[in-house]
Amino acid sequence: MSPFSTLTSTSASGPSPAALADPTDGATVLVVDDTPDNLTLMSELLRDRYRVKIANHGEKALRIAAAEPRPDLILLDVMMPGMDGYEVCERLKADPATRDVPVIFLTARSDVADETRGLAMGAVDYITKPISPPIVRARVRTHLRLKASADFLRDKAAYLEAEVARRGAELAAIQDVTILAMASLAETRDSDTGNHIRRTQHYVKALAVALREQPALRELLTPEYVATLFKSAPLHDIGKIGIPDRILLKPGRFTPAEFEIMKAHPALGRDAIAQAEAQLGTPVLFLSMAKDIAYGHQEKWDGSGYPEGLRGEAIPLAARLMALADVYDALISRRVYKPAMSHREALGIIVEGRGTHFDPVVVDAFIRIQDEFQDIARRFADDDETLQRKQDWIDTANAPLPEA
């Protein structure tokens, strides 16, 4: 912000001395003229109120204008040897560092065409020689005040833009943490671990990026879609919160009746997210996608999944991606009811499910980027201590209650 753009204030008893001062006092004015007498005249005319810098040719004027502190106003002679005033003005306006510095042309030319040319280049005013001191002072003061106002508004706009960006980033961070906290709460109630959330989150993102190679999907898989998918993925099993521990933590196979209860978790998850969306009172893209994932990630390509028995592309793409990511992670992870499989074994099962359990296009993308899946699994691997804590929790939950 320019030093003369500070707002003044008034007290209850009337204007303060600072308020009575012209806010443009102390501004820096650059005078450019090849005639020494003109430089002397202009310096004497302005130096009682402003800091005056002088340049006797165009190159020097450009150097002074580009140096800090930059001038707040430039009085520029038109007719100079070498680089004339028009070229100087053109170069000033072409440089982002100096384009906002107002330029007033000083010239003996009074043709309308000359004035039009100068104003078209970005000059704010045109003063003809021989100059009138009162007119020069008045024009300089007016344009410095306009400059001060423009600087204030520009700085204010920049501040507000930065503040909006900061608050937006803060809200996004809060949103992300809240999502992960909700998802982690669901994970504490079954045999999965918190790192399952992170692994599946990265798996679906990797698949989405790989699928951009498909012409039919390229338009859908925008950077915004992929970012929303990454944000929504942790909520895929949020509905497990509504499943009883005796089923969720059962170490063996489910009975048909237990499996029917377990199959309710996609609908429970969708309904919980829908209720949160209703509380907001406005559609939110990541919540809409989270509903698709939560409700559809147990569907199968051939229609044999649940809860709706959807088939093929009737299953939302986000849910098709999560279906593969979720199964792959379950296969390679140790659970109370099974040991961990190798990547090769998991790969074989997923390839076998191509066109039945999984979307063939998604499986093909998985095969292409399987090394990336293995890297994600290594980066977010469960440590033994976490697995033991989870095992202890499951054992405690499954232990018979003591007799009264």
What are the tens digits of pLDDT across the range 354-367?
999 999 999 999 99
What is the pTM (predicted TM-score) of this model?
A: 0.59
In this structure, how many other beta carbons lie within 10 angstroms of the beta carbon of residue 168? 10
Give which of 122, 164, 159, 161 is closest to 143, Cα–Cα: 122
**Which tokens in the block code for residue 232?**
């929504």
Quote the pLDDT of residue 150: 86
Q: Is the pLDDT higher at 113 or at 341?
A: 341
Check if the beta carbon of residue 350 is closer than 8 Å to that of residue 363. Answer: yes
**What confidence tier does 20 reach under pLDDT thresholds 50, 70, 90?**
very low
Place of tokens 């993102």: 205
**What confidence tier does 161 reach under pLDDT thresholds 50, 70, 90?**
confident
| Torsion sign over Cα 110, 111, 116, 121 | negative
Average confidence (pLDDT) over 312-325: 97
Q: Each residue of 94-138: pLDDT tens digit?
A: 999 999 999 999 888 777 887 788 888 889 998 888 889 999 999
Lowest mean pLDDT among 28-42, 144-158, 184-198, 272-286: 184-198
Check if the beta carbon of residue 250 is closer than 8 Å to that of residue 305. Answer: no
Quote the pLDDT of residue 166: 82
Q: Each residue of 222-234: pLDDT tens digit?
A: 999 999 999 999 9
Q: Quick one: CA torsion of 309, 312, 317, 318, rounded to 10 degrees? A: 30
Quote the pLDDT of residue 264: 94
| pLDDT above 50: residue 9 | no
Give which of 358, 233, 249 is closest to 299, Cα–Cα: 358
Q: Each residue of 276-299: pLDDT tens digit?
A: 888 878 788 888 999 999 999 999
Give which of 378, 359, 117 is closest to 217, Cα–Cα: 359
Average confidence (pLDDT) over 145-160: 86
| pLDDT above 90: residue 210 | yes
Mean pLDDT of the chain: 85
Report d(CA 200, CA 214) in Å as an integer: 22
Lowest mean pLDDT among 87-101, 137-151, 309-323, 383-397: 383-397
Burial of 236 (0-12, 13-18, 19+ CB in 10 A): buried
**What confidence tier does 220 reach under pLDDT thresholds 50, 70, 90?**
very high
Q: Determine what percent of the chain is predicted with pLDDT higher than 70.
A: 83
Q: Is the pLDDT higher at 3 or at 55?
A: 55
Q: Each residue of 323-340: pLDDT tens digit?
A: 999 999 999 988 766 788
Report d(CA 376, CA 144) in Å as an integer: 59
Quote the pLDDT of residue 38: 92
Domains, the chain, with CATH or none: 10-161 (3.40.50.2300), 188-398 (1.10.3210.10)
Average confidence (pLDDT) over 392-401: 56
